[in-house]
Structure 1
Amino acid sequence: MTAEPLPRIRVIIVDDQTLIRLGFRMVLDATDDIEVVGEAADGAAALDAVRSLEPDVVLMDVRMPGVDGLEATARIRRDHPAVAVLVLTTFDLDEYAFGALRAGAGGFLLKDARGDELVAAVRAVAAGEATLSPRITRRMIELVTASGLPEPHPVTPTTLTAREAEVLQAMGRGLTNAEIAGELFLSESTVKTHVGRILTKLPARDRVHAVLIAHGLAQPGLDV
C-alpha cells in the first residue's frame, strides 16, 4: 500500500511589490511540503484571501496602501487564530516591529533572506515554533537603546529550572526546537515539553514573547 502524502503547508504571500511575491513564490513552490495557494497586494485583499483559501501561514508585508500589514495581522489573528502570520520586513526595523508583535505576528522574516531561510521560517511558523532571528533581535535591542531607554539585558526568571533557562536562552538566540535538541543533547520531544513549561511559567503569550523576555525586551507576564 502506498502511503498518502503528508498535507502541505498552505501559504498566502502578501506584498504590494509583484517581484517580491514572485520571488517568494518561486522558492516556496520548489519545495515538497509547501504550497502557495494565493497572493495579495494589500491588507484588505489578504483578509479576503484568508477567508476564502484558509491558509496555514501568511507572509505579511507591513507597509502597504489601504489596510496595512499591522491591521491585517491583528484581524487575521483575531478572526482566524489558527493562521500564523510571518511579517516581512527590511533590515532597518522601525516602530512597526513591536506593533506587529502586539498584533499577534509569529515572527519576522527579512526580505533579503536566503531561500533556505524563507523555507525554514515558514516551516517553523507552521509548526508553532516562530522565533526572531538573531539579526532582527539585535536590531530591536538597538532601537530600544536609541530611544533613550537603558539597554536591556537577558532575563532568566527564577521560576525556571536550570535546564528550562538554557532552553529559553537558546530560544532567544533564534534556535528552533530541533537545533536546541542538538545543542543540548536532548530529544526534540523533551525540548517541546520544556518550551511548553517555559511559556506557562513566565507566562508568555507565545514563543516570540518568550524570546523577547529572554532578551530583556519584554517582561514576564506582560504584553509586548
Structure 2
Amino acid sequence: MNTTPPPLRVLLADDHRIVREGLKQVFSDPANGQPEIRVQAEATGGAELLQLLASQGPEPALDVVVLDIAMPGQDGLELLQCLRQRWPSLPVLMLSTYPERQYAVRCLKLGASGYLNKSADPDDMVAAVRKVAAGGRYVSPATAEALAQALGPSAPGPKAAAGTLLGQAGIDSLSHREHQVFRLLSSGHSVTQIGAQLKLAVNTVSTYRTRVLEKTGARNDVELALLARGHPLE
C-alpha cells in the first residue's frame, strides 16, 4: 500500500522569472522530504493569475497560491482581496521584498494565510507553504513582532480610538503603490522626490497622494505623518 502523501499543488505568481525559478528549485529539493511541493502553474501578472484560477472552476485544484505583492497591473494586495472574495477557501501566501513591519499586518488583515520575505531561509519557505496548505497561518518571528507592535501597548481614549480606527481603515484600503506613496509622504518626501524614487511622473504621484488623502481622511502631509506614527487625527 502506497503511503506517500500527494504533492502540494502550488500556483506561483511573480513577474520575475529568476524568483520563480529559485522558488521552484527550493520546493523541488528532495531534501525537503514529504509531502512534495509541486509548482503546478505560474503567473506573471494579475490578469493571468485570475484567468488561470477561473479556468479551473469554482474550486481550483490547488493547495496554495504564492503571490508577490509587487505585481504589474493589479498589485498583490488588490489581487489578494479579489482572491478572498472569489475563492475564500484557497490559502494565499504573500511574498515580498519589503520588511514585515511594512506589509505583513496588512496582508493578514486582508485575509492572507501568511507573509514571507523573499530573503527567507529555504527551510522557512517550505515550512510556510506546508503550514498554509494544511489550513494554518504562517507567522515568522518578524511578522509576530509587527503584529505585536500593531496591537500597541495600551488602549486609546474614545476620541483617539475613533480617529485611529478611521485612519487605520483607510490605510488598510490603500493599494500597494498608494501605500508606498503614503509612507514616503509621511517621511517628509516631496512629490518630486517620490516620483524620482519610484520612477513615476510627478502628476501620477500627485494623483496617488490625492487618493491617499481621501482614503485615510487626512487633510495634509502633516496629518499623514501623524497617522503613520500611530497618532489620532484631530
Same fold flag (TM > 0.5): yes
Contact persistence 1:93–1:140 (CA under 8 A): no
Deviation at residue 25 of structure 1 after TM alignment: 0.8
Which structure has the highest helix share of the two? 2
Aligned to 2:41: 38
Aligned to 1:52: 55
Deviation at residue 84 of structure 1 after TM alignment: 0.3
Taking structure 2 as the reference length, what is the TM-score of the superposition? 0.56
The reply on whether 1:69 has 2:68 as its aligned counterpart is: no
Which letter maps to 1:76?
L
Aligned to 1:192: none
2:100 alignment partner, SS class? coil
Q: Distance in 1 between matches of 2:129 and 2:114?
A: 10
Contact persistence 2:13–2:44 (CA under 8 A): yes
Deviation at residue 69 of structure 1 after TM alignment: 0.7
1:132 alignment partner, SS class? coil
Q: How many residues align?
A: 147
Correspondent of 1:133 among 140, 159, 183: 140
CA displacement 1:158-215 (0-9 Å, x = unmatched):
xxxxxxxxxxxxxxxxxxxxxxxxxxxxxxxxxxxxxxxxxxxxxxxxxxxxxxxxxx
Correspondent of 2:129 among 117, 122, 126: 122
1:86-165 to 2 correspondence within 5 Å?
Answer: 86-93=93-100, 95-141=102-148, 144=150, 150-151=152-153
Q: Distance in 1 between matches of 2:148 and 2:96?
A: 16
Which letter maps to 1:138?
E
Taking structure 1 as reference, are residues 124 and 150 closer, same or farther at Cα in structure 2, changes over 3 Å only?
Answer: closer
Taking structure 1 as reference, are residues 62 and 34 closer, same or farther at Cα in structure 2, changes over 3 Å only?
Answer: same
Contact persistence 1:71–1:103 (CA under 8 A): no
Q: Distance in 2 between matches of 1:76 and 1:131?
A: 18
The reply on whether 1:13 has 2:21 as its aligned counterpart is: no
Taking structure 1 as the reference length, what is the TM-score of the superposition? 0.58
Deviation at residue 75 of structure 1 after TM alignment: 1.4
Q: Distance in 2 between matches of 1:9 and 1:119?
A: 11
Deviation at residue 58 of structure 1 after TM alignment: 0.6
Aligned to 2:88: 81
* Gapped regions of structure 1 (runs ≥ 5): 154-224
Deviation at residue 86 of structure 1 after TM alignment: 0.4
Q: Distance in 2 between matches of 1:13 and 1:130?
A: 18
Q: Point out 4+ residue stretches in structure 1 off by more than 6 angstroms.
A: none
